[in-house]
Amino acid sequence: MSTVRDSKGRERVPSAASLRRVRWYQEARWKRLVALLVLAVVGAQVTGVQGTSTDIFYALGENFTGTGIWIWLALCVGVWVIREFLSEPVNRGWVASRDRVSQPVARVRGVWQADPRLRYGGGALLLVVLILLPLWLSTYWQQVMVDQIAIFVLLAIGLNVVIGWAGMLDLALWRFLPSGPIRRRSGRVRCRWSLRWC
Amino acid sequence: MSLQDFWDVFVLGVVLGSLYAVIAIGYTLVYGVLQLLNFAHSEVFMSGGFGGLIVLTVVVPAADPSGIQSAGYVLLGMLAGAALGGGVAYGLERVAYRPLRRRGAPRLVFLITAIGASFFIYNLAGKIFGRNASRMPSMYENKTLFTLFGAPINVTQALVVVSAVLMLILVDFVVNRTKLGSGIRAVAQDPEVASLMGVNIDKVVSRTFVLGGLMGGVAGFLYGTTTQVWYTMGFLPGITAFAAAVLGGIGNVRGAMLGGMVLGVVEAMTVEIWGDAWRYVGAFAVLVAVLMFRPTGILGERVARTA
Q: Which residue of B lies nearest to A44 if distances are taken between CA atoms? A: B128
Q: Tell whether the model's pLDDT for residue A53 goes beyond 90.
A: no
Quick one: pLDDT at residue A124? 94
pLDDT in tens, B88-129: 999 999 999 999 998 988 888 898 899 999 999 999 999 999
CA distances from A142 to B111, B159, B223 (A): 34, 57, 46
Q: What is the dihedral of CA A36, A38, A40, A43, to 10 degrees?
A: -130
CA B76/CA B52 separation, integer angstroms: 8
Arithmetic mean of pLDDT, B56-79:
84
Taking the Cβ of residue A53 and every Cβ of chain B, the question of whether any pair is shorter than 8 Å is answered with: yes
Tell me what pLDDT residue B301 has: 65
ipTM, two decimals: 0.80
| B212 and B294 Cβ atoms separated by less than 8 Å | no
Query: What is the structure's pLDDT at A198?
Result: 39
> Of the candidates B212, B38, B48, which has an alpha carbon nearest to the alpha carbon of residue B115?
B38
Chain centre to alpha carbon of residue B287: 18
Residues of chain B found within 8 Å of residue A45, distances taken between Cβ atoms = 124, 127-128
Residue A27's identity, in one-letter code, is E
Q: Is the pLDDT of residue B1 over 60?
A: yes
Backbone phi and psi for residue A189, each to the nearest 5 degrees, phi listed first: -80, 125
Residues 107-126, chain B, touching A (beta carbon < 8 A): 108, 111, 124
Q: In terms of pLDDT, which residue wins out, B77 or B68?
A: B77
Helix axes B41-59, B3-34, angle to 10 degrees: 110
pLDDT digits (tens, 9 = 90+) for A75-123: 999 999 998 888 888 899 999 999 899 988 999 888 888 888 888 998 9
pLDDT at A52: 87
- Residue B266: count other Cβ atoms within 10 Å of its Cβ: 21
In this predicted structure, what is the pLDDT of residue A2? 59
Under 8 Å CB pairs connecting chains A and B tally to 44
Contact between chains at B124 and A45 (C-beta distance less than 8 A): yes
Q: Which residues pair with A189 in a beta bridge?
A: A184
- Mark yes or no for CB contact A53/B124 under 8 Å: no
Find the CB nearest B130 among A45, A52, A169: A52
Nearest residue of B to residue A170 by CA position?
B307
Region B288-302: what's the mean pLDDT? 82
- Asked if A140 has any chain B CB less than 8 Å from its own CB, the reply is no
Helix axes B201-226 and B3-34, enclosed angle (nearest 10): 160
Q: With contacts defined as CB-CB under 8 Å, which chain A residues touch B124?
A: 42, 45-46
- Give A8's DSSP letter: T
- Put simply, the answer to whether A56 touches B134 (Cβ < 8 Å) is yes
| Dist CA B242 CA B224 (whole Å) | 19
Q: Which residue of A has its CA nearest to B115?
A: A171
**Contact check, Cβ <8 Å, A169/B307:** yes
The pLDDT of residue B47 is: 95
pLDDT of B5-25, one tens digit each?
888 899 999 999 999 999 999
C-alpha to C-alpha distance for A137 and A145, rounded to whole angstroms: 10
Residues B186-198 pLDDT 10s: 998 888 899 999 9
Cβ-based contacts of B130 with chain A (< 8 Å): 50-54, 56, 59
Q: What are the structural domains, with CATH classification, of chain B?
A: 3-131+143-293 (1.10.3470)
H-helix or E-strand spanning residue A11: strand A11-12
Identify the three-state secondary structure at position A140: helix
Q: Which residue in B283, B270, B298, B260 sits closest to B17, CA to CA? A: B260
pLDDT, mean over chain A: 82
C-alpha to C-alpha distance for B24 and B219, rounded to whole angstroms:
10
pLDDT score recorded for residue B62: 63
- Chain-chain contact of A54 with B127 (C-beta, under 8 angstroms): no
| SS3 state at A3 | coil
Give the CA diameter of chain A.
102
pTM of the entire predicted model:
0.82
